[in-house]
Amino acid sequence: MLDAFVNYINDNHLVGNGERIFVALSGGVDSIVLTDLLLRAGYDVTLGHCNFHLRDEESDGDEQFVKAFASERGVSLYVKHFDTKSYARDNAISVEMAARELRYSWFADMAQCHGFHKVAIAHHGDDNIETFFINLLRGSGIQGLKSMKPINGIYIRPLLWTNRNMIRDYALQNNLSWRDDHTNDETVFLRNKIRHVLLPTLDGIKENYRQKILFSINCLSSENDLYRKMLHEKLSSMEYVSSDFHSIKIKDFLEDETGKQLLFEWIRRFGFSGFQCDSVMKSIEEHSKTVFYSSDYQLDVTSDTVEIFKSSYDSSEEYVIDKDCKEILSPLHLSFSVYEKNNGFIIVKDKSDIAQLDYNKLSFPLKLRHWREGDRFFPLGMRGSKLLSDFFNDNAFTPYQKRNTWLLVDNDENILWVVGFRINDKFKIVGDTKFIFKIVLQIG
């Protein structure tokens, strides 16, 4: 088994020359065998044990066991204690999910802080089959059904080619001791039901079904890699990206026979669910302007695009501009100049990147800020004032444009310029204007 183990590592490029491995050691037979094989093969190994305090004295017994094991083998061991139940309660997730998040977060921290190149996990082929059925029963596409891979970033699974019986036989033949977790025999959790009820039933239906399913999983994994590559190319050709703003034209979804699948694959990257995808697609087909939210993003179906951007931003962000300021580079690139109006002066029209104001009407310092509820100004060419929100709607601003448009205001909070769109009629150049305040927006 040792030779096959090393060959699997080499064939799948799991460990490079001189790389240090951090091994997740629970004390169960799988992780004990994984550690034994890595040590026999001569790899540079450090052990890590998580005490989740979920089984009272048994959890502490596991910790004492792995400490004795590490001492006997002369291998360094790190132990991490977690208040798993509190973490699950505070984050409104299951205890099983809490333990998973806690351990992988710790593994990543250990790799970064101590320079471990890889983190070895003792998952084997039967675990992969169980994961396949878990995702199948929960409802999953190709991404979930491909299950686990031998290597995923820093995480390696050198035992995926084996099964539970092979591992236990190796442990018995080499006189290895391990700890049994009695909760693995309970059929409360879905994984245990699959392990103890479904898989034995399949054993009676087809003798070598495990090999067939693992073959299918490997095929799905390869097909998923190809699918992801082609999907990336397809979406990249459709998607417009600027900073935190992402958009795709609605016609690209409606004109493609796989439009709904493309939509789902695109929006899932931002935390939107399959159920939300159905609603978004319905809005697209009905030409209905609708807003959707994930935990971090907002999605807007507009008249001709689907737009996604961060759902929160700092609306109080401000930048002060005093009289002597000639230029600011953030968040916009603006340059300022003052000059005397002469007989040859011509007002610049129809240029959204230039604003010209009557300098003597300005109250300094000026500020750049975002719009606020109740903001009102006198759009150039109008006698009366207008709510900025109405101005936005009249000019078909999208929600993203509204929140990312900057306003140039004076010290009295008069809106001088909706930057890039319209100046305030009250501050325009008139016949008796003596000095001109010019602002240029550098685009691109």
Q: Looking at the structure, do residues 323 and 427 belong to the same domain, yes or no? A: yes
Q: At what angle do helices 209-238 and 259-267 cross, to 10 degrees?
A: 90
Q: In terms of Cα–Cα distance, which of 233, 231, 260, 236 is closest to 248? A: 236
Provide the CATH number for the domain around residue 279.
Answer: 3.30.465
pLDDT at 442: 85
pLDDT at 9: 96
Of 84-98, 186-200, 410-424, which range is least confident?
A: 186-200
* Predicted confidence band of residue 444 (pLDDT cuts 50, 70, 90): low
- What's the residue count for the chain? 444
DSSP state of 198: I
Tokens for 138?
Answer: 């929960």
| Residues spanned by the domain of 246 | 239-310
Residue 187 has pLDDT above 70, yes or no: no
- Each residue of 23-35: pLDDT tens digit? 999 999 999 999 9
- Each residue of 45-54: pLDDT tens digit? 999 999 999 8
Q: Looking at the structure, do residues 335 and 248 belong to the same domain, yes or no? A: no
Q: Looking at the structure, do residues 186 and 256 belong to the same domain, yes or no? A: no
Give one DSSP letter per residue of 201-249, joined into a string: HHHHH-TTHHHHHHHHHHHHHHHHHHHHHHHHHHHHHH-EEETTEEEEE
Whether pTM > 0.95 for this model: the answer is: no
Q: Looking at the structure, do residues 94 and 179 belong to the same domain, yes or no? A: yes
Q: Looking at the structure, do residues 254 and 293 belong to the same domain, yes or no? A: yes
Q: In terms of Cα–Cα distance, which of 21, 50, 271 is closest to 151? A: 21
CA distance 147 to 136: 10
CA distance 25 to 36: 11
CA distance 408 to 319: 10
pLDDT at 151: 93
Tokens for 99?
Answer: 């333990």
Give the burial class of 106: count Cβ atoms within 10 A of its Cβ; 0-12 exposed, 13-18 middle, 19 or more buried. Answer: middle
Q: Looking at the structure, do residues 139 and 178 belong to the same domain, yes or no? A: yes
Instruction: Give domain status of residue 42, yes or no.
Output: yes
Q: Looking at the structure, do residues 322 and 300 belong to the same domain, yes or no? A: no
Instruction: Give domain status of residue 155, yes or no.
Output: yes
* Contact predicate 166/1, CB 8 Å: yes
Residue 207 has pLDDT above 90, yes or no: no
CA distance 250 to 285: 9
Instruction: Give domain status of residue 38, yes or no.
Output: yes
Give one DSSP letter per residue of 168-189, joined into a string: HHHHHHTT------GGGG-SSS
Q: Looking at the structure, do residues 301 and 407 belong to the same domain, yes or no? A: no
**300 or 399, higher pLDDT:** 300
pLDDT at 188: 64
Q: Looking at the structure, do residues 142 and 259 belong to the same domain, yes or no? A: no
pLDDT at 260: 92
Q: Looking at the structure, do residues 96 and 216 belong to the same domain, yes or no? A: yes
- Each residue of 292-329: pLDDT tens digit? 988 889 999 998 999 999 887 777 788 999 998 888 88
Sign of the torsion formed by the C-alpha atoms of 24, 30, 32 and 35: negative
CA distance 223 to 195: 27
- Each residue of 125-163: pLDDT tens digit? 999 999 899 889 888 888 888 878 899 999 999 999 999
pLDDT at 256: 84
Instruction: Give domain status of residue 116, yes or no.
Output: yes
Query: ω into residue 331 within 30 of 0, thus cis?
Result: yes
* Contact predicate 156/121, CB 8 Å: yes
pLDDT at 186: 67
- Torsions phi, psi of 437, nearest 5? -105, 115
- Each residue of 329-353: pLDDT tens digit? 877 899 999 999 988 788 888 788 9
Name, of 68-82, 212-226, 430-444, the range with top average pLDDT: 68-82
* Overall domain count for the chain: 3
Cβ neighbours of residue 368 under 8 Å, at least 6 residues apart? 318, 319, 321, 328, 331, 332, 334, 406, 407, 408, 409, 419
For residue 151, give the 3-state DSSP assignment: strand
